Amino acid sequence: MGAHVEVRRGIRSASGRAELWRGLRRRLDEYSLTLRLLLKRPLAAAGLLITLLYVGIAIAASFLPDRDVLQTNFTTAYPQPPWWWGNGTPGSWFGTTYPGIDLGMAIFKAIRIDLYYSSIVVLGGAIVGMLVGLVAGYKGGLFDEGLMRSTDVAYSIPFLVFAIAVAYVISRDFTTLNLSLLILWWPPYARLVRSQVLAVKANMFVEAARAAGASDLRIMFRHILPNTLAPVFVQVSLDLGVVIQIFAALIFIGFVPHSGYLPELGALIFYGFGSEPTSYPWTILFPGLALVIFTVGVNLLGDGLRDVLDPRLRR
């Protein structure tokens, strides 16, 4: 009798692993199809290339021993132009900004910090929002009503004003700005995922899973959540550019750490703006271009993802 039970358990375990592998293969095939469709669109492919380039720069900059600080040189504090600008500094591709900071290395380090902290805000907000929207949409009733009203309250708070207030009261360091944005970044994802859950849970495969005895957790995370991720991916890619712009704007208007020089694109524009930008235009031109190129790249990628993930928009 015991041997038969062990055999049945082994068969059930093997069939479960086979089902898991088949599901993984289907998901990988879907991702491969999405990538192929994305690469067929020139603008989306350009956005993907720009995004991967910035991610590669951020990873490479993380191996620098002084990745979080900028090396200053007060003996030549005034900005020096790049070698190709005319009377430029030999060997310098981007010149220097005040006070003697090598602009090329500074942008290299700034991309890592901007991408790292913006990813924390966006991905953290997406995870919290997905969980809230998933539970609210699946449970329904008063539970859904309470979560969504709380979401509406959080969504009504202007995040830029909130970040300025928190930084003014607590501290102007980069971590405080990051946490203040993270607190209010989840409501759009909660509303987005909830709307998707309400549509997906009415499908027959959800009813079949419930009839087969699947638990609520299994239904939510195995059957419903994977079918709500497409618009979330699009929103994440778009939000990355938005958060980097917010960081740059906050630091440019004066929320700069009081100690040291911060390798951040908005801070670099701030340093250049304070050193007569009409006389030294490269000090704001190159950090500004780095910011604009990344924002355009992730927006192109987000638009492309929206098209290839929505069957109604595929052409």
- 3-state secondary structure labels for all residues of 179-216: HHHHHCCCHHHHHHHHHHHHHHCCCHHHHHHHHCCCCH
Eight-class DSSP state of 96 = E
What is the pLDDT at residue 79?
77
Longest dimension (CA), the chain: 91
3-state secondary structure of 77: coil
Q: Render pLDDT for 209-258 as a digit per residue (tens, 0 to 9).
A: 888 888 888 888 888 888 888 888 888 988 988 888 888 888 877 776 65
CA angle 37/43/45 to nearest 5° reads: 50
Backbone phi, psi, residue 101, to 5°: -85, 130
* Residue indicated by tokens 């927006």: 299
The total of other beta-carbon atoms located within 10 Å of residue 216's CB is 11
Q: Which residues contact 243 (CB under 8 A, 6 or more apart)?
A: 117, 118, 121, 122, 181, 185
What is the pLDDT at residue 5?
47
What are the DSSP E strand ranges found in the chain? 96-97, 101-102
- Cis upstream peptide for 226 (omega within 30°): no
Mean pLDDT of 133-152: 86
Q: Render pLDDT for 255-292 as a digit per residue (tens, 0 to 9).
A: 766 556 778 888 888 888 777 767 778 888 888 899 99
Q: Which residues contact 54 (CB under 8 A, 6 or more apart)?
A: 111, 115, 294, 297
What is the pLDDT at residue 56?
92
Q: pTM, whole model, 2 decimals?
A: 0.81
Long-range Cβ contacts of 154-161 (<8 Å, 24+ apart) = 154/184, 154/186, 154/187, 155/184, 155/187, 155/188, 155/191, 157/184, 159/184, 159/185, 159/246, 160/246, 160/249, 160/250
Q: Which of 314, 292, 295, 293 is nearest to 305 (CA)?
A: 314
The mean pLDDT of the chain is 80
Contact 244, 58 (CB under 8 A): no
What is the pLDDT at residue 6?
54
In total, the chain counts a number of residues equal to: 315
pLDDT bin (cut points 50, 70, 90) of residue 124 is very high
pLDDT at 14 over 60: no
What is the pLDDT at residue 122?
92
Determine the topology of domain 39-65+74-313 in CATH: MetI-like fold (1.10.3720)
3-state secondary structure of 91: coil
Distance of alpha carbon 280 from alpha carbon 186, whole angstroms: 40
